[in-house]
Amino acid sequence: MQRSNFSRMAMKENITGYLFILPNLIGLTVFTLFSLVFSLVISFTNWDLVGQLKNVKFVGFDNFSAIFKDEYFWVSLWNNTWFLLAIPVNILLALLFAVALNKYVFGRKSLRVIYFLPYITNMAAILVVWNMLFHPEKGPINSFLRSLGITHPPLWLLDSSWAKPNIAMFGIWTSVGFFTMIYLAAIQNINKELYESADIDGASSRGKFVHITFPLISPTSFFILILSLIGSFQQWSNIQIMTEGGPGKSTYVLGFYIYKKGFSYYEMGYASGVAWILFLIIVGIMLVQWRMQKKWVHY
Amino acid sequence: MGKRNKVLYQVLVLLTLAAVLFVTACSSGNKEGGSASSASPSGSPASSASDTASKTPDKKVKLRFAAYNQDTPAIKQDLANFAEAHPNIEVEVMNFPNDLNEYYKALDVAIAGNETIDVILMQKDTAGKKATQGILTDLDSIAQKDNNFDIKANYGSVMDGAKTNGKYYYIPYNIDFDVLYYNKDMFDANGITAYPDENTTLKQLADNAKKLTTGEGANKVYGFVWGYATYNSLLRLIENEGWQWLKEDGTPNLEDPRVKEVFATFKDLFDSGAVPSIANMQLEKMNNRVVFAQKHAAMIIRNWWTPVQWNTLRYDDKLFWQNGPDFKFEATHLPRFNDQDKPKLQFVQPGWGYGVSSKSKYPAEAWEFIKFMTATRYEVSDAITVIPAYTKISDEKFATIYNYYEKKDGTIIKDAYGPEVAAQHKKIKDEIVPTISQFQIRPIDVGIQNAIMDVIEREATEYFTGKIDIDDFIKKIQAEAVKVAKK
C-alpha cells in the first residue's frame, strides 16, 4: 500500500513536471522537430518552395547524387574548410587579450567594452563601416598602405585572392571580443593559490601559463572551439552582404549555397539535401572533437 | 520502477500526439476560415471563372488581399473609394512584412500553407512563375464575362510582356521604363550642341560622357552615371534591342557579340573615370539621381520615377533645390545600342500588379477589385504617383505624377516642375516601342534567370578589375551559366 502511494505520488510529480514544460515541448515539437522532419522529407523531393505540395514528386536520392556531382557544392565545402583556418587565430587572439586584460592594463574596463562592441553591434551597420575601411580606392587602409610605398594595395573584396582573408578578418574582429570575455571569466575563476604555489616553486610566467592556466581553461577552449566550428560552417549572411559568393566562387560557402538554391533558384528540395549533408558534416566533426577532448581537456 | 517508466513513456507519447493534433488543427483552421465568406481552397479544383463566380452579386463577400506596404494614406483612400463603389465587397488587407524580400518569402509560405488568398500583389516575374505553378487564375476568362473587357486595349501593348503561356494572369497597375536625363547646361558649357535624343547610340553617349567628365575628388563631375549597381543590369541596354537571356535551344545567350560589346564599352568608361564603376556604386551606395541633382553627373539613366524622388529629397529631406532646380535638364529616350537599331525601342516592364488566386471563391469580385486598383482609382484620386499601365489616363492626371507632391507636414505642392517634365515623360511613354519580351518567346524559369545573373555578378569583378580579358570573361560566364541553367 505504501509502495503504491509512493508510486502514485512520484507519477503525479512527474506529470506535474511535464505539464510545466509542456508549452516549451509543444513549441519544440512544432517549430524544431517538425521542421527538421519536414526538411528531411523534402530533401527527397523536387519541391520548388512556391509550388503546391500536391504537385511535388518524390525523387529518391537524385538530389543527393546531384549534390555530390555539383561543382558548387565542392567549392563551397572547400571554402568552408578554408575558413576553419581562422579559428585557431581567433582563439589565440582571444586568449592573449584575456590574459592581458586579466593583468594590470591601463583602462582595461574600457578595453573590455571596446573589444565586445563589434559582437553586439548590428552587422549591417558594421559592414557599411568595414566596406568603407577597405574601399580599394578611398578607404583608409589602402591609403595607409600606399603611404608605406605599396603602389598596388589589395582590392580586398573585389579580389578573389583577398576576399576570403578579408571576410575571415571580419569574422575574427566581430567575435574575438565575445571569446575574450569568456576566456577572461574562465581565467578569473582559477584558484589564485595555484599561482602562489607556482611562484613559491619558482615557476616562470610561461611555465604558469602552460601548466596552470591553459589546462584549467581547456573546457572553455573546447567550448569556444565547438562554437567557432559550428559558426564557421553556418556562416552565410555576412557572405551575402559582402560578396554574394564572389568574386568568382572564392567566397561561396555551404550556408550561402543553401540559401541561394532554396530561395533564389527555387530548388528547395535540393537545398534541403545540402542542408542535411552540412548537418552530417558538422555532427561528424563534433564527434571527432568530442572523442579527442579526452586527450587535452581537463575537467 | 519499470512500471513507472512505462507510465512516463505513455504520458510522453500522449503529449507528442497532442502536439501533432495541435499542428493539424492550426493548419486546417486556415483552410476552413473563420467567417462564412472566406474562400475555402480544400478540395476545390483549379478554378474556372464560371464555376466559382458569385451567383448572388448582392451577397456581401470578403476578399483577402495579399500585399505589402499598403498602410499609406493614398492606399487607404483607394480602398475606401472601392468600398464606396462596391458596398457588397469587403477587402481585407492581409498582414505581411513591410519589406519586398520578406513579403515574397511570407507570401510563398502562406501559399504553401494553403492560406485563403483572393488577390495577390506582385511583380511581373513573380506573376509569371506563379502562373506556371497554377497559383493564379487566367484573367481572360473572367474578363470575357465582364462584357468582353479588352485587356490589351485598356492596358496597352505592354500586356504582351505580361502574358504567360499566351494568357493573362496578372494586370499591372504601373509600368516601368528607363529614361536618359541630361544636364543641358553642362552640354552647352562644353560646346556640345547635339543633345541626346532617340537616335543617340551607346557609342555617342560614351564619347560625350568622356568629354563631359571633369574635376577630381569632391569636385568630380562624371560624364555619365549608370542607374543600377549590378553588372547584369548593363545587359538591359541590349535587352531593349531584343537580346534574349536564352537561345532557341534553351542554353544561355551570353556569347552573343552584343554582350561582349556592352561589357567592353562600360569597362572602358569605368577605366577612363567617366563613369563610376559598379563596384564603387555598390561600396558607396551611390544613388545616381542624387549625383545628377547635385550636378556631379552630366547624364544618368534611371527609371521614370526619378523626378518623383527628387521631390522627396528636395521638399522633405531638403537635400538640394531649395529654390527649384538650379540647372536645365531634359528627359529623352534611351540610346540605341548601335546605329543599325531602331530608335525608341525599350523592353518596357509591366510593373507591380494584381492577380487572382486560383483558389479564390470570388474571382468575379476579385476582378472588380483589380480593375479598380489598376484603372478607376487613378481617375477618382487627386493625383497619381505611378505611370499607370492603363492607357486612358488624361494628360492632366498624368502631370500630377511629377507636379503634385504632399510634403510630410501636409503642405501640398501642385506645380513642382511646370509642364515640361511631365510632357517629356508622357512623350517618351507614348512613343516607346516595346521590345517583344522574353516571356512571349520563351518563358524563362525565374530561378534559372536568377542563377545566370548571379554568375555574371560573381565573375564580372575579375574582368572589370583587369584580372582577365573580355574573351576569357565571356567564355567563363557562358560556361558557368550553362552549368547553372541545367535543372
pLDDT by residue (tens digit) across A236-250?
888 988 888 989 899
* pLDDT grade for B20, boundaries at 50, 70 and 90: low
Cα–Cα distance between B130 and B444 in angstroms, integer? 13
Q: Which residues of chain B make contact with A132, given a CB cutoff of 8 A?
A: 283
Report pLDDT for B486.
73
CA distance A33 to chain B (A): 11
Look up cell 569574422; give the residue: A171
Q: What is the pLDDT of residue A185?
A: 92
Side chain identity, residue B467? K
Cα-based torsion angle of the residue sequence B307, B310, B312, B313 in order, rounded to the nearest 10 degrees? 170
Q: Averaged over B344-372, what is the pLDDT? A: 92
Query: DSSP per residue over A103-125, as a string?
Result: S--TTHHHHHHHHHHHHHS-HHH
Contacts of A131 in chain B (CB under 8 A): 283
Q: Check residue B69 and report its DSSP letter.
A: S
pLDDT at position A2, please? 61
Is residue A118 within 8 Å of residue A126, measured between CB atoms?
Answer: yes
Whole-number pLDDT of residue B16:
61
Averaged confidence pLDDT in chain B: 85
- Whether pLDDT at A139 is above 70: yes
Confidence (pLDDT) at B436: 65
B12 pLDDT higher than 80: no
> Identity (one letter) of the amino acid at B125?
D
Given pLDDT bands bounded at 50, 70 and 90, which one contains residue A165?
Answer: very high
Three cell numbers, residue A127: 559592414
DSSP 3-state of B216: coil
**Nearest residue in B to A14, CA atom:** B8
Q: C-alpha angle B414/B420/B422, rounded to 5°?
A: 65
Neighbours of A144 (CB within 10 A): 11
Query: How far, in Å, are A261, B344, B434, B436 from residue B348 at the CA level?
Result: 29, 11, 6, 9
Q: Is residue B459 very low, low, confident or very high in pLDDT (cuts 50, 70, 90)?
A: very high
Residue A183: which of A224, A231, A232, A228 has the closest Cα? A224
For position A48, what pLDDT does the model report?
A: 80
Choose from A46, A158, A239 for mutation: most chain B CBs within 10 A: A158
Cis peptide leading into residue A247 (ω within 30°): yes
Place of cell 524559369: B445
Which of A71, A158, A160 faces B279 most closely, judged by CB atoms?
A: A158
Contact B119, B357 (CB under 8 A): yes
Distance from C-alpha of A250 to C-alpha of A185, rounded to nearest angstrom: 37
Neighbouring C-beta atoms of residue B467, cutoff 10 Å: 17
* pLDDT (mean) for B127-146: 90
Comparing alpha-carbon positions, the chain A residue that sits nearest to B2 is A7
pTM of the predicted model, to two decimals? 0.77
Tell me which chain B residues have a C-beta less than 8 angstroms from the C-beta of A158.
279, 461, 465
Grade residue B437 by pLDDT with cuts at 50, 70 and 90.
low
- Which residues in B1-56 belong to E strands, given as ranges? none
Say if residue B35's pLDDT is above 50.
no
Beta bridge partners of B61: B89
Q: What are phi and psi of B297, to 5 degrees?
A: -150, 135
User: Which of A236, A252, A256, A92 minimizes the C-alpha distance to A164?
Assistant: A252
List Cα–Cα distances, A99 to A28, A148, B244, in angstroms. Answer: 39, 32, 61
User: Closest partner residue to A14 among B8, B16, B462, by Cβ?
Assistant: B8
Instruction: In whole angstroms, give the CA distance from residue A257 to residue A273.
Output: 11
**Is the per-residue pLDDT at A80 higher than 50?**
yes
Instruction: Locate the domains of chain B by residue range.
Output: 51-175+351-380, 178-347+437-485
Task: Extract the runs of DSSP E, i.e. beta strands, from B177-248.
Answer: 178-183
In this prediction the ipTM stands at: 0.77
The answer to whether the CB atoms of B487 and A30 lie below 8 A apart is no
What is the rounded CA–CA span in Å between residue B365 and residue B90? Answer: 10
From A49, which residue of chain B is nearest by alpha-carbon distance?
B108
Percent of chain B with pLDDT over 90: 55
What's the topology of domain B51-175+351-380? D-Maltodextrin-Binding Protein; domain 2 (3.40.190)
Phi-psi domain of B327 (left: phi exceeds 0; alpha: psi -120 through 50; beta: other): beta
Q: Is the pLDDT of residue A167 over 90?
A: yes
In whole angstroms, how large is the CA radius of gyration of chain A?
Answer: 25
Quote the crossing angle between the two packed helices A86-102 and A218-234, to the nearest 10°: 140
Closest CA to B228 of B175, B289, B317: B289
Confidence at B185, pLDDT banded by 50, 70, 90: very high
Query: Helix A71-83 vs helix A268-296: angle between axes, to the nearest 10 degrees?
Result: 30
pLDDT digits over B61-117, tens only? Answer: 999 999 988 888 888 889 999 999 999 999 999 988 888 878 988 998 899 888 999
Alpha carbons within 13 angstroms on the beta-carbon side of residue B336 total: 14
Q: Which of residues 376-435 of B touch A (CB under 8 A)?
A: none
Q: How confident is the model at residue A125 (pLDDT cuts 50, 70, 90)?
A: confident
Residue type, A119: Y
Pairwise CA distance, residues A82 & A165, whole Å: 9
- What was the pLDDT predicted at B21? 55
Helix, strand, coil distribution of chain A in percent, nearest 5: 75, 0, 25
Contact B50/A at CB under 8 A: no
Contact B334, B237 (CB under 8 A): yes
| pLDDT above 60 (res A298) | yes
d(CA A128, CA A241): 10
pLDDT of residue B5: 61
Put simply, whether A260 touches B (Cβ < 8 Å) is yes
Alpha-carbon dihedral sign for residues B270, B275, B278, B280: positive
Residues with Cβ within 8 Å of B275's Cβ and at least 6 positions away in sequence, in order, are B209, B222, B223, B224, B225, B226, B266, B269
Q: Write down the pLDDT at residue B33.
A: 31
Is A4 at the interface with chain B, CB within 8 A?
A: no
The DSSP string of B425-478 is HHHHHHH-EEPPPHHHHS---HHHHHHHHHHHHHHHHHHHTTSS-HHHHHHHHH
Decide which of 3.90.1150.140, 3.40.50.300, 3.40.50.2300, 3.40.190.10 is the CATH code for B178-347+437-485. 3.40.190.10
How far is residue B281's CA from residue B258's CA, in Å, rounded to a whole number? 24
